C-alpha cells in the first residue's frame, strides 16, 4: 500500500446513501490553546465516513428514555433541557450524564474511637446541548460553521450520617446550613462559537477558565478572538465565584478565607468566615502556537466589592513544545498582590525507542498564596524547591516498570537564625512500580517510600482489574503501609487493607459499581467501608 492512500479522492457516491449530516462539526475551543482546525474535520477527508456514521439512528434501534436519579439536580437539568432544546430540536444533540456516589465509612479519631460514621451521597449531573445551529448542507467547512451550545454541571451533596445531629440547634454538633446542602452549580454557560467566519467565540454564564493561572471560576462572560494561528485573545469578566459547600470554601477561590454567610442559630460556633462578597474580576489570556511551540500568557485582577481594593492580582505564562522524542513544559505564576513568585514549573520529558522508554525530569518551585485578606500571608515565608526524576521502561511484553526519586528542599539556615528555627529542610522520596495491561487483564504494583524531616511513610498497593464479557469489570486492591509522623501525638501506624468490587454496564448508558473494603491499622483498629456508584447517561 502506498502513501497515496493518504490523499484518497472523495467518492462521488458514498457507500451507503443517506441524508447529509445534520450536525455541526464544530469544535468547542476552551480558553487554553486548542487545535484550530481538526485535520479530520476538513471537508472531503472524512466525508465518506461521516456519510455512514452521522446518519440518523435507525428506527429499529430503541432509544433509551432519560433515566435520572430522583434528585433536585436531575429535575432542574431535565427542565433546562426541555426549555433549551425546544425550537431547533431536530438539529441539537443532547447529552445528560450523572454520577451518583454513596459512601459509608467510619472516621477514626486520634484516640482510636469512631468520631464520625460518614454516610455521604453525592450526585453530579452534566448537561450538554450542542449543535443548536444547523450546518448548511453545502458548507465547505463544517468545522467553521457557527454553533450555539449549552453546557452545565451540577452537584448535589448530602451527609445523612451527620444530618440528624447537625440540623438540631440544641445539639453541640449543630452545623448551620447542614439541612440545605443542596445544589451547587459548578458550571453553566451558553456558548456561541465560530462567529465571524470562525474568528469569534462567546460564552456567558458560570464559566471555568483553565490556563496559566490554573482553574478559576467566574459568573460572567468571555470573548475569544481567534484571528491568527499564532495568536488568540480571550477576555473574561464578571464576578468571582466564591461560593462553595457550606462547610468549606469555594473550589476556585484562593485559600485562606471562607466567604459564606454565617446566619442562623448556632452559626456563631464557626469563626472562620468572612463577609460574603461579589467581587468583580477581569482576566485576559493571550495564546497561540508557533510550529511545535505553544504559548500562553494571562493576567487576572479581582477587586473587593466592599472597599474597592485589590483582592488578587496575578500574571502567569506557560510554554510547551515537542521536538521529536522530547517534550518540554514550563510555567510560572506571579502574585502581584504580594510581589512574589507563587510557583514555577519546568518539565522535560524524553520518549525513546518509540515511547517504550520514558524519562522525565521536573522541577517545581512552590510558595503557597492566599486571599489578599488572609493572615496566612504573614506566615508564608519560604518557598520550597522540588526535583523529581522518573523513568518508565519496558520489561517483558506488556509488563512495564517505573522508578522515581524526588527531593524537596526548603531554604533556611542564616535567615532563620533570628527566629531560632532550624536550618534547611530536605525530604527525600522514591518509589517503583510495575504495570501490566493486556486486553483481558490489567494490574499495577506500586511501592513508595518517603523519608522526611518530620514524616516517614512506606507503602505498597496492588491493583488488579479484570473485564468480563464486555460488560463486567472486577476489581481487587490490596494495600499495606507503615508511617511515622513526628508531628502528631499518636504518630505511628502499621496497617493494611483490601478492597474488592465489581462494575457492570446494566444496559447501554447505565453503569453500576460497588466495592467493599476492610482495613486494619494499629492505631485505628479494624474498619469496614462500602462504596457504590451509579452512572447514567442518555443522548439524543
Partner 1 sequence: MVNGPGPRLPPILRPAAAAAALLALLLPALGLPAGGANDPAPPPPADPSGRVRFDHARHAAHQPDCSACHRPTPPETAPGAATPAPDFERPREADCTGCHPFERPAPGPRTATADPEVCALCHPVDAAGRLALPAVAPRFPALAFDHRRHEDAAGAPCTACHDPARIAGGVPPPMTRCMTCHDDALEGGCARCHLHDARGRLTLRRPGRPELRPPAWMGDLAHVEDFARQHGVPARTRRDVCASCHEPSFCEGCHLGEAIERRFHPAGWLSAHGPASRGADLDCNTCHRGQETCLSCHRRAGLTLDSPRLGRDVPRGSSVHGESWALRPELHAREARRNLGSCVSCHTGRDCVTCHAVVRPHGPDWNQRCSGLLATSPQTCAACHTRRPDCR
Distance in angstroms (rounded) separating the CA atoms of residues 381 and 367: 8
Nearer to partner 1, 239 or 533 (CB): 533
Least distance in angstroms from the C-beta of 77 to partner 1: 14
Distance in angstroms (rounded) separating the CA atoms of residues 351 and 277: 48
Distance in angstroms (rounded) separating the CA atoms of residues 281 and 300: 7
Least distance in angstroms from the C-beta of 81 to partner 1: 14
Distance in angstroms (rounded) separating the CA atoms of residues 433 and 56: 47
- 224 by Cβ neighbours in 10 Å (0-12 / 13-18 / 19+) ranks as buried
Helix (H) or strand (E) holding 51: helix 47-53
Residue found under cell 504559548: 295
Least distance in angstroms from the C-beta of 367 to partner 1: 9
Distance in angstroms (rounded) separating the CA atoms of residues 144 and 38: 10
Nearer to partner 1, 239 or 270 (CB): 270
Say if residues 207 and 223 touch (Cβ distance below 8 Å): no
Least distance in angstroms from the C-beta of 499 to partner 1: 4
Distance in angstroms (rounded) separating the CA atoms of residues 147 and 198: 10
Please, what's the b/e burial string for 260-289 (b: 16 or more CB within 10 A of its CB; e: otherwise)? Answer: bebeeebbeeeeeebeebebbbebebbbbb
Cell of 468: 468480563
Least distance in angstroms from the C-beta of 196 to partner 1: 20
Least distance in angstroms from the C-beta of 227 to partner 1: 19
Distance in angstroms (rounded) separating the CA atoms of residues 113 and 447: 29
Least distance in angstroms from the C-beta of 4 to partner 1: 6
Least distance in angstroms from the C-beta of 220 to partner 1: 18
Say if residues 254 and 368 touch (Cβ distance below 8 Å): no
Residue of 24, 314, 274, 266 lying closest to 167 (CA atoms): 266
Residue of 185, 218, 189, 213 lying closest to 202 (CA atoms): 189
Nearer to partner 1, 235 or 475 (CB): 475
Amino acid at each position: 500500500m502506498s502513501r497515496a492512500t493518504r490523499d484518497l479522492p472523495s467518492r462521488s457516491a458514498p457507500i451507503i446513501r443517506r441524508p447529509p449530516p445534520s450536525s455541526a462539526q464544530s469544535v468547542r475551543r476552551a480558553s487554553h490553546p486548542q487545535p484550530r482546525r481538526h485535520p479530520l474535520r476538513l471537508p472531503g477527508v472524512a466525508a465518506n465516513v461521516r456519510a455512514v456514521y452521522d446518519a440518523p439512528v435507525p428506527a429499529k434501534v430503541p432509544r433509551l428514555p432519560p433515566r435520572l436519579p430522583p434528585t433536585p439536580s436531575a429535575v432542574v437539568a431535565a427542565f433546562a433541557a426541555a426549555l433549551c432544546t425546544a425550537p431547533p430540536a431536530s438539529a441539537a444533540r443532547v447529552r445528560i450524564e450523572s454520577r451518583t456516589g454513596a459512601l459509608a465509612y467510619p472516621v477514626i479519631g486520634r484516640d482510636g474511637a469512631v468520631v464520625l460514621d460518614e454516610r455521604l451521597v453525592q450526585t453530579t449531573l452534566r448537561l450538554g446541548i450542542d449543535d443548536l445551529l444547523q450546518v448548511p448542507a453545502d458548507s465547505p467547512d463544517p468545522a467553521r460553521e457557527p454553533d450555539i451550545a449549552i453546557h452545565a454541571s451540577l452537584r448535589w451533596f448530602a451527609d445523612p450520617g451527620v444530618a440528624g445531629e447537625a440540623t438540631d440547634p440544641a445539639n453541640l454538633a449543630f452545623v448551620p446550613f447542614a439541612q440545605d446542602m443542596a445544589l451547587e452549580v459548578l458550571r453553566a454557560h451558553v456558548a456561541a462559537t465560530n462567529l465571524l467566519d470562525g474568528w469569534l467565540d462567546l460564552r456567558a454564564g458560570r464559566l471555568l477558565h483553565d490556563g496559566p493561572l490554573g482553574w478559576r471560576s467566574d459568573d460572567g462572560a468571555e470573548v475569544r478572538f481567534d484571528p491568527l494561528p499564532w495568536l488568540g485573545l480571550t477576555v473574561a469578566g464578571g464576578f468571582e465565584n466564591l461560593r462553595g459547600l457550606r462547610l468549606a470554601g469555594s473550589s476556585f477561590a484562593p485559600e485562606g478565607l471562607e466567604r459564606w454567610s454565617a446566619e442562623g442559630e448556632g452559626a456563631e460556633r464557626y469563626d472562620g468566615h468572612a463577609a460574603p462578597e461579589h467581587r468583580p474580576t477581569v482576566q485576559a489570556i493571550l495564546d497561540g502556537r508557533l510550529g511545535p511551540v505553544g504559548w500562553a500568557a494571562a493576567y487576572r485582577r479581582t477587586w473587593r466589592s466592599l472597599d474597592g481594593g485589590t483582592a488578587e492580582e496575578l500574571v502567569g505564562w506557560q510554554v510547551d513544545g515537542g521536538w521529536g522524542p522530547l517534550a518540554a513544559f514550563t510555567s510560572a505564576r506571579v502574585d502581584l498582590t504580594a510581589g512574589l513568585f507563587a510557583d514555577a514549573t519546568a518539565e522535560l520529558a524524553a520518549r525513546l525507542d518509540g515511547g517504550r522508554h520514558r524519562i522525565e525530569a521536573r522541577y517545581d518551585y512552590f510558595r503557597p498564596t492566599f486571599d489578599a485578606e488572609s493572615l496566612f500571608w504573614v506566615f508564608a515565608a519560604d518557598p520550597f524547591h522540588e526535583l523529581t526524576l522518573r523513568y518508565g521502561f519496558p520489561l517483558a511484553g506488556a509488563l512495564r516498570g517505573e522508578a522515581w526519586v524526588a527531593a524537596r528542599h526548603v531554604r533556611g539556615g542564616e535567615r532563620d537564625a533570628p527566629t531560632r528555627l532550624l536550618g534547611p529542610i530536605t525530604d527525600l522520596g522514591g518509589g517503583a512500580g510495575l504495570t501490566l495491561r493486556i486486553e483481558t487483564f490489567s494490574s499495577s504494583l506500586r511501592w513508595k517510600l518517603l523519608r522526611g524531616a518530620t514524616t516517614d511513610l512506606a507503602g505498597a498497593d496492588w491493583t488488579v482489574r479484570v473485564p468480563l464479557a464486555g460488560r463486567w469489570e472486577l476489581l481487587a486492591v490490596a494495600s499495606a503501609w507503615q508511617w511515622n509522623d513526628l508531628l502528631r501525638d499518636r504518630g505511628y501506624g502499621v496497617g493494611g487493607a483490601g478492597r474488592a468490587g465489581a462494575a457492570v454496564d446494566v444496559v447501554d448508558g447505565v453503569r453500576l459499581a460497588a466495592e467493599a473494603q476492610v482495613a486494619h491499622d494499629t492505631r485505628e483498629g479494624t474498619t469496614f467501608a462500602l462504596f457504590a456508584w451509579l452512572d447514567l447517561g442518555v443522548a439524543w
